[in-house]
Structure 1
Amino acid sequence: MNDFQKIAVLGFGTMGAGIAQVLAASGRDIVVLETDQDRIEAGTASIAEFLDGGIARGKVTQEDRTAVLARISGTTDVADLAGVDAVIESVTENADVKKAVLAEVAAVVGERTPILTNTSALSVTDLAAALPNPSRVAGLHFFNPAPLMRTVEVVRALQSGEDLLDRLVALVDSLDGKEPVVVKDRPGFLVNALLLPYLNDVIQEYDDGLATAEDIDLALKLGLGYKSGPLEMLDMIGLDVHLHATESAYAATLDARYAAPPLVRQMVAAGYLGAKNGRGFRTGDKDAR
């Protein structure tokens, strides 16, 4: 591990905290940029809680917990990112917000410092075009929860340099339990390009009354060997997150497979967001049909 020793993570929400934890567990020093101290404390607390769960299950030692948390620091001052070896962006899934944050960071870090985005739905090529030296820009897409999910998509924008992609593959290979998959920049990349239409089909079948939510999940887990059912997965992802991802993919492709079913739009409008607020397909007050 001799590349990317100090990494900046932009955003300390669910994904940013998970990414910071994974990177810190590999022995790297992480500085997280957030808008206020409360968000920094919340992100740190979520990592500590996750590690405490690992200790309870015998997967993490107290020494590991202490070391990971010691390698992560937070700041609200973008100037503190000067000198980092790479930047990983994980702010809200809004292209204008991402471009503004990345432009501010690009003015502080070195001209050749890799700038990476964890977007799951937006065009990496478009984000790269808004930055100086776009050959240093690529996608590094972790899945939620980042400490547990093994796949990391290394996304090649049209401008991404081949040397950068090689370095990112090596970075992912150095992370415990992670496997890199190099993909081209397309809506949804690889996993979500296949997953989003599948989830949309399941939502529509549920709305049509094909079976109960419980039976749909049971059938697909047992029949296909999946670890979780699709409606359980949607609750974990967040119905609002799924809706945004499908809308972004549909806007970019006009492919009907990505058109969100009416039910998911209705559920999000009514405040059914899944596990995050206890209202979804399999979470709490669930039957919105």
Structure 2
Amino acid sequence: MSESTIDFPTIGVLGFGTMGAGIAQVFAAAGRTVIVLDTDQQRIDAGIATVAEFLDGGIARGKATEEDKAAILGRITGTTAVADFAGVDAVLESVTENAAVKQALLSEVATVVGAQTPILTNTSALSVTDLAAALPNPARVAGLHFFNPAPVMQTVEIVRALQTDETLVERLVDLVHALGDKFPVVVKDRPGFLVNSLLLPYLNDVIQELDDELATAEDIDVALELGLGYKTGPLKMLDTIGLDVHLHATQAAYEATADARYAPPPLLRQMVAAGRLGNKNGLGFRTEQPNHGSN
């Protein structure tokens, strides 16, 4: 299929961190041209390196070729200028889980892209309806929530805000199907959407059980992997997600609902305050070696 015949042939991605890099790779692998915005060239270079490293892992496992890598990287361009988003067919933000930061950046992007250009958010817990309300033409706003790592995880939640045009929802379902091995799930705009509304309380309970010394971190993970058939234990999962990311998500859900299930456990707050963020810096529930090369 040629680029001219696919929907959303050019996509702007806001943020080149772990999630932004993974999402950019997914879109580029599906033949889209991707422009990624971040604050400086160092972060852009780091994002490109993240994509290249992930693809190298696929090559080592026989899942990709050097030609695949070259093609994917060739479709990704980094920029520090919002003006470079003029003419994109859609924008997807994947920046920090802070409503004020997201709204400010999306408002700036809205002045550059076309009035009908879809503006999408990868938020995992914030209200898409609230984000849409701060933008002109909120009918073109929706959630497109990937899970980490985006190139591997197959579920993508399409979040329908109260203002979202139904035609956009249908286009996004088709887009996710076009990404290869991804499965779209259309959900209401509710705190945590579908997956995280179930996952956040579960992870909070596990953290509390660890703090209560019910079992060691390793035994908790092994028990749930073997006892429930989960591929990854919850504490390993938290280290992969990032303890700071989980704290932001569960705090946002708690503030939106006042539901005690979402209240961040004290140990989680302490871990983040102590700089123990998980795999991203090598210090978490199951990781013990600082990784000074991470960002």
- Shorter-chain TM-score: what band? over 0.9
Q: If the length of structure 1 is used for normalisation, what is the TM-score? A: 0.97
Task: Give the counterpart of 2:88 among 84, 89, 110.
Answer: 84
Q: Give the drift of 1:99.
A: 0.8
What is the DSSP-based 3-state SS (H/G/I as helix, E as strand, rest coil) of the residue aligned with 1:182? Answer: strand
State the AA in 2 paired with 1:119: T
User: What residue is the counterpart of 1:171 in the other structure?
Assistant: 175
User: What residue is the counterpart of 1:241 in the other structure?
Assistant: 245
State the AA in 2 paired with 1:95: A
* Cα deviations by residue, 1:4-50 (Å, 9 ceiling, x for unpaired): 00110111111111000000000111111111111111111110111
| Matching of residues 153-172 of structure 1 within 5 Å | 153-172=157-176
Question: 2:224 matched to 1:220?
Answer: yes
User: What residue is the counterpart of 1:28 in the other structure?
Assistant: 32
Task: Give the counterpart of 2:262 among 252, 258, 263.
Answer: 258
State the AA in 1 paired with 2:219: D
Task: Give the counterpart of 2:283 among 266, 276, 279.
Answer: 279
User: What residue is the counterpart of 2:134 in the other structure?
Assistant: 130
**Over the residues paired in the alignment, what is the CA RMSD in angstroms?**
1.2
Question: 2:12 matched to 1:8?
Answer: yes
User: What residue is the counterpart of 1:203 in the other structure?
Assistant: 207
Q: If the length of structure 2 is used for normalisation, what is the TM-score? A: 0.95
Q: Give the drift of 1:76.
A: 1.2
* Cα deviations by residue, 1:100-143 (Å, 9 ceiling, x for unpaired): 11111111111100000001111100000000000000000000
* Counterpart Cα distance in 1 of 2:193 and 2:211: 27
| Matching of residues 31-110 of structure 1 within 5 Å | 31-110=35-114
What is the DSSP-based 3-state SS (H/G/I as helix, E as strand, rest coil) of the residue aligned with 2:120? Answer: strand
Q: Give the drift of 1:236.
A: 1.0
Q: Percent identity?
A: 76
Deviates more, 1:140-149 or 1:30-39: 30-39
* Counterpart Cα distance in 2 of 1:47 and 1:277: 18
* Counterpart Cα distance in 1 of 2:172 and 2:228: 32
Q: Give the drift of 1:285.
A: 6.8
State the AA in 1 paired with 2:223: A
What is the DSSP-based 3-state SS (H/G/I as helix, E as strand, rest coil) of the residue aligned with 1:193? Answer: helix
Unaligned runs of 5+ in 2: 291-295
Runs of 4+ in 1 over 2 A off after TM superposition: none
State the AA in 1 paired with 2:28: A
